[in-house]
Amino acid sequence: MEIILTADETLTTTYRDLPLADFLGCAPPQRIPPILYKFIDTQVPHKNGRLTFAPYSLRKIEAALLKSYKDVVVAHPQHIEKFIKEDTRIVAVTTMDPLGLGPVTMIFTEGGRLPSYTRIKFTSLIKKINKYRQVKGLDFKIVVGGPGAWQLEVKEDEIEELGIDHLIIGETEHQIIKVFREIEDGYADKIIHVKGWPSADEIPTIVNPSYKGMIEVMRGCGRGCKFCDPNIRKARFYPMEKIIEEVEVNSRAGQSSAWLHSEDIFNYMIEDKKHYQPNEDAVIRLFREVLKRVDYANPTHGNVSGALAAPRILEKVAELNDANLHRWVGIQVGLETASPTLLEKIGSNKVKPFDASEWPWVLLNGTYAFNKYFWFPAYTTIVGLPGETEEDEINTARLIITMREKLREELGEKAHFIVVPLAFVPMGLLKGEEFFDVDNQLTPGRLLHIYHAWRQILWELEHGFRIVKPGIVSFLFSPLIKLGLKFILRGIEKWAARNGVDVKKPLEPMDIKLERF
With CA atoms as reference, report the closest residue to 347 among 376, 385, 380, 374. 385
Q: What is d(CA 483, CA 332) in angstroms, rounded to the nearest whole number? A: 24
| Host H or E run for residue 166 | strand 166-169
DSSP string, 310-357: -HHHHHHHHHHTT-BTTB-EEEEEEEE-S-HHHHHHHHGGGGTTS-GG
**Which amino acid, residue 414?**
K
Report how far residue 56's alpha carbon sits from residue 60's, in angstroms, rounded to the nearest whole number. 6
- Read off the pTM: 0.95
Helix/strand/coil for 267: helix
**Can you give the pLDDT of all 517 residues of the chain as single tens digits?**
799 999 999 999 999 887 678 888 999 999 888 998 998 999 999 999 999 999 999 999 999 999 999 999 999 999 999 999 999 999 999 999 999 999 999 998 988 999 999 999 999 999 999 999 999 999 999 999 999 999 999 999 999 999 999 999 999 999 999 999 999 999 999 999 999 999 999 999 999 999 999 999 999 998 989 899 876 788 999 999 999 999 999 999 999 999 999 999 999 999 998 999 999 999 999 999 999 999 999 999 999 999 999 999 999 999 999 999 999 999 999 999 999 999 999 999 999 999 999 999 999 999 999 999 999 999 999 999 999 999 999 999 999 999 999 999 999 999 999 999 999 999 988 989 999 998 889 999 999 999 999 999 989 988 866 555 555 555 566 677 777 778 778 888 988 888 888 999 999 999 999 998 7
DSSP assigned state of 422: E
262, 217 Cβ separation under 8 angstroms: yes
Say if residues 400 and 419 touch (Cβ distance below 8 Å): yes
